[in-house]
Amino acid sequence: MALRELLLINRTRMNEFIVRQATTEDIEKLKVFYEKAFGNKSKYKYPERWQWHYKQYDLCEENKLPLFIAINEQGNIIGHTAASNVAFKLYDSTYRLSWSVDTIVFPEHRGKGIGIKLQKINQDNAEIFASLSMSEANRQIKIKLGARKGPVSEVLIKKIAFEKNFTSLLVSLIQKSNKKGHIKSNFIIDEPQNAVFGNEESVLWEKLRLDYDLAVERNAPYLNWRYKDQPFTQHLCIRAYNKEHELTGLTIYRITEEATPKGAIILEILCKTDDISLIQSMILRTEDHLKLQGINQIMVASSNIKTINTLKNLGYIKIDENGLIIYTNKNAAANINKDTKALLTLGDQDWDEFPNIKIFSCFKILEVLLYLNNFKDVKNVVLRLLLKLYMKTLAYRNK
């Protein structure tokens, strides 16, 4: 289907509202909607971040916007969803992927079918439509509309700073008990630099993309848009080189200055994952820099099992996982499942949804570990038993 056909306005009347694609003529109404939907945080949605997210790297034409709105009879926007469009590798071809972002229906208008209509028009205007981080209600709507489940990305956390209490001691012991020895690396790890990318990053991506069946095309133009140009944030990177001074690895991260206490997010770990020593060296160098900045915790996500296991061996703890939900009529999509080789990180979609970073207390980490798998990720058997006993004691005291 031609791009012009994909972007045709799709209007549907139901329960006294209209759902259609937004145009530049709707901007004033969108500003009012954002102020009501996001309150004091609306300044992070419009205008700077809005221009960055939907205009600078978008494939839309003329005055059409990659946003879809529900309007009531009074002409007010009561629901909204949007598409963040990026180049996407699916097996041997590259397509336009529309990440589903900012799906919101005002509470007083829910239950009227607005959410599903918004998702449907967004989906129908996309070559490939996908979500990674979403509410459970949103997930169920997408599945109902025909999306399929894809690979899973695990979210991991590592505490850097600890308070002097028993709960903090337990989390510290978990991280230490899961650690394995550091493998010596022959790579040259550079000092941290501001995130600005050029030809060597594009050359690196051309090598790395062969390892994945499904991934956003992480060449230099994309990396600059995502990490250099994004407003309100400063991203940093650490590069790794081999003896021939060829770029072989890259981490991209940011310090969450908006949070108290400060945290950090590692958004990309780009390298050949067969070399565990390279991953370890880049992560440890990133940690060294973040410790000097007084960071409380580091959060990272990956869908690559080797990267995940390397992180766990460095003391990172799994606290969550998000599964890809994807819709397309492309024949290749029929092969997508949870085992598809994918690169899914906190840099995808709008997963690092500034400024909503979560800082986990040590007690919250223990609660999550108990909920996820009853401390099965804790390798030390004695420590695992101690954790279960401690949490049972707390539960008994709180009765």
CB 324 within 8 A of CB 190: no
Residues 43 and 111 occupy one common structural domain: yes
Residues 191 and 318 both lie in one domain? yes
Quick: pLDDT tens for 168-201: 999 999 999 888 877 778 899 999 999 999 999 9
Q: Is residue 398 part of a domain?
A: no
- 331 and 373 in a single domain? The answer is yes
pLDDT tens digits along 278-325: 999 999 999 999 999 999 999 999 999 999 999 999 999 999 999 999
Does one domain contain both 78 and 51? yes
CA pair distance 355, 258, nearest whole angstrom: 6
Of 248, 143, 168, 171, nearest to 205 (Cα)? 248
Residue at which a domain ends, from 146, 166, 199? 146
What CATH number is given to the structural domain containing 199? Answer: 3.40.630.30
- Asked whether residue 56 carries a pLDDT value surpassing 60, the answer given is no
Structural domain contains residue 286: yes
> Among the listed ranges 67-71, 367-371, 373-377, which one has the minimum average pLDDT value?
373-377
**Does 132 share its domain with 173?**
no
Q: How far apart are the first and last CA of the chain?
A: 60
The residue segments making up the domain with residue 244 are 153-384
Domain-located, residue 135: yes
Q: Are residues 254 and 365 in the same domain?
A: yes
Q: Does residue 355 lie within any of the structural domains?
A: yes
**Average pLDDT rounded to a whole number, residues 141-157:** 93
- Is residue 390 one of the residues assigned to a domain? no
Same domain, 225 and 100: no
Residue 95 confidence (pLDDT) above 90: yes
Predicted confidence at residue 221, as pLDDT, reads 96
If asked whether residues 187 and 313 sit together in one domain, one would say yes
Q: Could you tell me which of 268, 289, 284, 274 has the C-alpha nearest to residue 346?
A: 268
Six-digit token pair at 5? 């056909």
Alpha carbon distance 243, 38 (integer Å) = 50
Q: CB atoms < 10 A from the CB of 95, how many?
A: 18
* 8 has a pLDDT exceeding 70: no
Question: Is residue 177 assigned to a domain?
Answer: yes
Number of Cβ within 10 Å of residue 189's Cβ equals 18
Q: What b/e readout covers 59-86, taking b as 16+ CB neighbours within 10 angstroms? A: ebeeebbbbbbbbbeeeebbbbbbbbbb
pLDDT at 60: 53
336 and 325 in contact (C-beta within 8 Å)?
Answer: no
DSSP track, 49-101:
HHHIIIIIT----TTEEEEEEEEETTS-EEEEEEEEEEEEEETTEEEEEEEEE
Verify that 67 and 174 share a domain, yes or no.
Answer: no
Q: What is the pLDDT of residue 241?
A: 96
392: in domain: no
Total number of domains constituting the chain: 2
Rg (alpha carbons) of the chain, rounded to whole number: 22
Read off the pLDDT of residues 211-270 as tens digits, 9 standing for 90 and up: 999 999 999 999 999 999 999 899 999 999 999 999 999 999 999 877 778 899 999 999
146, 180, 198 - which closes a domain: 146
- CA–CA separation, 150 vs 327, rounded Å? 10
How many CB atoms are closer than 10 A to CB 212? 20
Question: Assign residue 336 a region: left if phi > 0, alpha if psi is -120 to 50, beta otherwise?
Answer: beta
Residue 394 placed within a domain: no
